[in-house]
Structure 1
Amino acid sequence: MAKYSQEFKLKLVKEYENGNLGYKSLAKKYGIPDSSPIRKWVNFYQLYGKEGLSPKKSKEVYPVHFKLDVLQFMKQTGSSYQEAANSFGIREYSMIANWNRAFNEDGIEGLKPKQKGRPSMSKLPKKKNMNNSQKMSREQELERENELLRLENAYLKKLKAYEENPNAFLEKHKQHWHLSSKKKDID
């Protein structure tokens, strides 16, 4: 549901058009934190009439060639984002600013629609590449083997310490856990 009703917006627009109060005064009078929504409502009302104050029904998707036309129009005429939005019937001029940024960064590819959401999961599990050992140099293979041996050695030492005295091993790790949890509480 919209934050402000269409009737409320129309009331403020009419009050502004009567010339008694400006944007900031209207915002203050009706407890609106910023005057920019009122400015936007007046603009929409002047362009589209009463329909300009009603909420959009659905999200509109613009084709790439339309976006290019808008950007070309701005470049040729030197118009602002707001003027271009008014000329092309776009409600949110910030959308044109996003198109301009995307075009400057990525060219036409930046204007193409991007897929939203997470990619679908593959039905087949990914096969692991078994040729990793062939791609690694001999030195890298030895470093990898060395690291695996260090890990195995550390694991066996801990296992041996646990087998010799399980209670002391658990107490040591409880103290370590307790100390690290106190550090988190301090932060």
Structure 2
Amino acid sequence: MSKYSLSFKLQVVKHYLSGLEGYKATAKRFGIDHSAVRKWSAVWKLHGEAGLTTRRFTYSPVFKESVILYMREHRLSVREVCATFSIPAFSTVCEWERL
């Protein structure tokens, strides 16, 4: 189960995207880490509401390699590639890259 509900995540994203406050101010207002605001906003922009739902996956070695290659080819950050492929934790991709 996710730590935060979908409705809470949507509320945070909508507040941030309204342009009234930045990542840090939005995070402070909702009592969460600013990296969550950044991640949820990026995922929402790419995938909409479906990107904010929590899923558990087992990733194949082929998929892991393709993500790393895509990241390098397109010169994306780990956070950007996580948003693109709907990978919940950027540390997952960091670990794949390290290995």
TM-score, scaled relative to structure 2: 0.81
Aligned partner of 1:137 in structure 2 is none
Equivalent pairs counted in the alignment come to 99
State the AA in 2 paired with 1:48: H
Q: Is the 8 A contact 2:54 2:88 kept in 1?
A: no
> What is the CA-CA distance between 1:97 and the residue it aligns to?
1.1
For the residues of structure 2 that align with 1:3 and 1:90, how far apart are their CA atoms? Answer: 16
Pair 1:69 & 2:66 matched: yes
RMSD: 1.9
Residue 87 to residue 53, structure 1, CA distance change in 2 (3 Å)? closer
For the residues of structure 2 that align with 1:64 and 1:2, how far apart are their CA atoms? Answer: 26
Aligned partner of 1:172 in structure 2 is none
Matches within 5 A, 1:43-122: 43-56=42-55, 59-102=56-99
Matches within 5 A, 1:21-36: 21-32=21-32, 34-36=33-35
Residue 43 to residue 17, structure 1, CA distance change in 2 (3 Å)? same
State the AA in 2 paired with 1:100: E
> What is the CA-CA distance between 1:9 and the residue it aligns to?
1.2
**Which ranges of structure 1 fall in alignment gaps of 5 or more residues?**
103-187
Q: Report which structure shows greater RCO (CA 8 Å, sep ≥6).
A: 2
Greater radius of gyration (CA): 1
TM-score, scaled relative to structure 1: 0.47
State the AA in 2 paired with 1:17: L
Moved over 3 A (4+): 86-89
Residue 14 to residue 4, structure 1, CA distance change in 2 (3 Å)? same
